[in-house]
Amino acid sequence: MSDAAKSPQARLPAVDRLLNTPQLTAAAAEHGRALTVATLREVLAEARATLGRGDVVDSAEDALAGETARRLSTLMTPDLRRVFNLTGTVLHTNLGRAPLPPEAIEAMTEVARGASNLEYDLARGRRGDRDDHLEAWLCRLTGAEAATVVNNNAAAVLLVLNSLARRKEVAVSRGELIEIGGAFRMPDIMARAGCRLVEVGTTNRTHARDYTEAIGPRSAALMKVHTSNYVVEGFTAAVGEAELAELAHAHDLPLISDLGSGSLVDLSQYGLPAEPTVADTWRAGADVVTFSGDKLLGGPQAGLIVGRRELIARIKKNPMKRAMRCDKLTIAALGAVLRLHADPERLRQRLPALALLTRPLPEIEALAARLRPVLQNALGADFAVTIADTASQIGSGSLPVGRLPSKAVTITWARTGRGSGAALKRLAGALRRLPLPVIGRVQDDALWLDLRCLDDEDGFVRQLGGLRPDAGR
């Protein structure tokens, strides 16, 4: 049968023929023959299906080989990528929270290269405990007697409650029954931990007598939860750690304190809103304190647990601990960040999260002045680029009422008539498609790029030449 008599599907080039094109020869050399063949078969199958519906497909060898090579390139590009966080939220949960310092990255790289003494005691020549790499520093920085680490603070709270209060009661103020992003709700976590929540007081006012009345023969602990992602203001009352610890100890109960985004240093010394430190909470009498590693501490995702030696020992014996433990990369990074905290005078310069939170406003203003004409030139006459005052958020449930004065470049649609919303949506999409995606926020009919977290001006500017804001029009 001649080629002309064949069906359109049958006239598609054969797999072997396409594999010999320069594009796919190069693709197979880079990505492997097996993946190249599988991707090519997908492209051909879609082409046959489209032709079978009577639609048009470019069946030229160059077109089919080019589509296969494009798909391979997309497939082999890492999905988890670095982005420019210009949203105005510094510790953005969806964008990875705290950036790590060079010391932490170097530590992770070093242990990733090969074997390490993760659970090996070099001094004694026998099996060790992975917590040993962190416990001494956590105790040094907080004053606690012992410490352990799990993969995030939600796990820390779950593990502590399951270890110390399973099948028993824990009293918590109604005003502290927090919910954070991702459906983490304190009542649900307590239920999963196998303990019974006893709500005390009211939403806005809780007194010591409320806890006293809730203590009974099945009580296992009192718990205080730091409301790090909201503030109750007005006619309010709460019981502080010191008073609550005294009450708990008078009834031979431990006080569990969940600080959430707990800080190891007094943030007010850097001009930030005051936040209770882990050391303050421990000195106030808390027996176990839980907090995050990737928020105000400025490290990797981790849940840190410090407290009394006998209670930490019970927590570490829980079989659930193994399911929640950190890997060697997290431990290496966290260890490096903890060592930086030993020098609070230079912490602002050495810890990226703290550097971003305390970035001077004049520095951000100067950056905005440099970038405005560059962005205007890249976007053309269809858009108007201006500089506006804004206020950055700290983020990730940390210091909920704290706002940091900042500057943003705002981009609006310069043409008259309708279409502003669609144009800004296309522009936001084009920014996300850049080699190093740019994430901003649309607000008040403008695209806002808060510059507080822009720490690579040259890299940002270099890729603007590839910006196509009219794509998808």
Instruction: State whether 292 and 396 are in the same domain.
Output: no
User: What pLDDT is recorded for position 176?
Assistant: 86
**Sign of the four-CA dihedral 117, 122, 126, 129:** negative
Along the 473 residues of the chain, how does pLDDT read in single tens digits? Answer: 455 556 777 778 999 999 999 999 999 999 999 999 999 999 999 999 998 888 888 888 999 999 999 999 999 999 999 999 999 999 999 999 999 999 999 999 999 999 999 999 999 999 999 999 999 999 999 999 999 999 999 999 999 999 999 999 999 999 888 776 656 788 899 999 999 999 999 888 999 999 999 999 999 999 999 876 666 777 778 889 999 999 999 999 999 999 988 899 999 999 888 889 999 999 999 999 999 999 999 999 999 999 999 999 999 999 999 999 999 999 999 999 999 999 999 999 999 999 999 999 999 999 999 999 999 999 999 999 999 999 999 886 555 556 899 999 999 998 876 778 899 999 999 999 999 999 999 998 999 999 999 999 999 999 998 888 775 45
CB 281 within 8 A of CB 259: yes
Instruction: State whether 177 and 262 are in the same domain.
Output: yes
- Give the DSSP letter of residue 277: B
CB 409 within 8 A of CB 415: no
Instruction: State whether 254 and 123 are in the same domain.
Output: yes
Alpha-carbon gap, residue 29 to 48, rounded angstroms: 27
- Final residue belonging to a domain, choices 334, 350, 366: 350
- The tokens describing 1, both together, are 């049968």
Q: Is residue 376 part of a domain?
A: yes
Q: Is residue 387 part of a domain?
A: yes
Matching residue, tokens 């790499």:
133
- Final residue belonging to a domain, choices 293, 327, 350: 350
Q: Is residue 395 part of a domain?
A: yes
Q: Is residue 154 part of a domain?
A: yes
Residue type, 325: R
Helix axes 61-76, 33-52, angle to 10 degrees: 120
- The tokens describing 313, both together, are 């020992």
Q: Is residue 330 part of a domain?
A: yes
Beta strand 196-200 pairing with 169-173: parallel
Q: Is residue 397 part of a domain?
A: yes
Alpha-carbon gap, residue 37 to 51, rounded angstroms: 21
φ/ψ of 355, rounded to 5, equals -60, -40
CATH number reported for the structural domain that contains residue 186 in this entry: 3.40.640.10
Taking the C-alpha atoms of 87, 89, 94 and 98 in order, what is their torsion angle to the nearest 10 degrees? 120
Residue type, 74: T
How many Cβ atoms sit within 10 Å of the Cβ of residue 473? 9
Vertex 162 angle, CA 159 and 167, to 5°: 175
The tally of domains found in the chain comes to 3
Instruction: State whether 71 and 106 are in the same domain.
Output: no
Instruction: State whether 343 and 368 are in the same domain.
Output: no
User: What pLDDT is recorded for position 1?
Assistant: 47
Instruction: State whether 54 and 125 are in the same domain.
Output: no
Q: Is residue 28 part of a domain?
A: yes
Instruction: State whether 309 and 370 are in the same domain.
Output: no
- The tokens describing 288, both together, are 């176990």
Alpha-helical segments (H) within 168-299: 186-192, 208-214, 241-250, 278-283
Q: Is residue 473 part of a domain?
A: no
Domain of 201, in residue numbers? 102-350
* 292 Cβ neighbours under 8 A, 6+ residues apart: 152, 153, 260, 261, 262, 301, 302, 303, 304, 396
Residue type, 22: P
DSSP, collapsed to helix, strand or coil, labels residue 306 as strand
Instruction: State whether 206 and 341 are in the same domain.
Output: yes
Instruction: State whether 318 and 405 are in the same domain.
Output: no
Instruction: State whether 113 and 163 are in the same domain.
Output: yes
Instruction: State whether 240 and 296 are in the same domain.
Output: yes
Matching residue, tokens 């903890």:
338
- Final residue belonging to a domain, choices 324, 350, 376: 350
DSSP collapsed to 3 states, 343-397? CHHHHHHHCHHHHHHCCCHHHHHHHHHHHHHHHHHHHCCCEEEEEEEEEEEEECC
Instruction: State whether 198 and 294 are in the same domain.
Output: yes
